Amino acid sequence: MLKLHYNLEKISMGLVGAIMVVASVGGIVEIAPLFTIEQTVEIPDDLRPLTPLELAGRQIYIREGCYACHSQMIRSLADEIDRYGPYSLAGESAWDHPMLWGSKRTGPDLARLGGKYSDDWHVAHLMNPRDVVPVSIMPAYPWLTAPLDTSLLRDRLTTLARLGVPYDAEMIAHAEADARAQSNPDADGASDVQARYGQAVAVRAFDGDPARLTEMDALVAYLQSLGTLTSAAWRTPEEAAQ
């Protein structure tokens, strides 16, 4: 084997050809399963899409680089399940564009974060992480008190609908109104948000002030949605097999 490799090194084109063959095999192994992904990934029947407010929060999450330190994929290892909760299912991310699985964890995995902490905790944590986690090295995000720009929400829902996310015409038409109503439970359209996205959708002033709609509202709404979009995320292996 060493002699063969030595001979290849002396023939540059042969070495290039060998590299191409090896790279092609590796590429085929990674790409081939994607051709059957629609048959292999089962989308849970009760999986709901993100609301416009949660979707805006996801964009802020990406904008601020949160994915660089937090993954959203719990592996099927005992220590991960003990710490973070049930392992992630491929179907949970069927409508994520882009997916935020990740492998780098400077901070904990967030796949099952929804409902673990209160809105007030999240607001305090984002304003100054050391106030609630003294040893945290996470940066503060005080600028999240800025008003939320909702002007692109319709376009985002329209684009995602073209990619297969089940946003209908009514959801798209009311995207901006739904974002505002979800953060104000006393608003006229608050009940319409739950009618369109399900009764389990949280409708409340996430930043504590229903009179204004901020980026903090959006990001906290998104964080509170993680792991709550389908009940399949919390089924035991025995239940999932039935």
pLDDT tens-digit profile, the chain (242 residues): 667 767 766 777 777 887 899 999 988 887 877 676 666 678 888 999 999 999 999 999 999 999 999 999 999 999 999 999 999 998 899 999 999 998 889 999 999 999 999 999 999 999 999 999 999 999 999 999 999 999 999 999 999 999 999 999 999 999 999 999 999 999 989 999 999 999 999 999 999 999 999 999 999 999 999 999 999 877 654 554 44
Q: Are 19 and 138 in a shared domain?
A: no
Tell me the C-alpha distance between 126 and 138, whole Å. 9
**Residue 93, C-beta contacts closer than 8 angstroms, at least 6 positions apart:** 72, 99, 101
113 within domain boundaries: yes
Count: domains in the chain: 2
237 within domain boundaries: yes
Tell me the C-alpha distance between 19 and 241, whole Å. 42
Q: Are 81 and 28 in a shared domain?
A: no
Tell me the C-alpha distance between 85 and 30, whole Å. 28
Tokens of 48: 């709901």
Q: Are 87 and 149 in a shared domain?
A: yes
Q: Are 186 and 215 in a shared domain?
A: yes
Q: Are 74 and 159 in a shared domain?
A: yes
Whole-model pTM: value is 0.84
Closest CA to 186 of 208, 206, 211: 211
Q: Are 130 and 16 in a shared domain?
A: no
Q: Which domain holds residue 35?
A: 2-40
Q: Are 80 and 59 in a shared domain?
A: yes
- Check: CB of residue 60 under 8 Å from CB of residue 219: yes
Q: Are 74 and 158 in a shared domain?
A: yes
47 within domain boundaries: no
Q: Are 74 and 181 in a shared domain?
A: yes
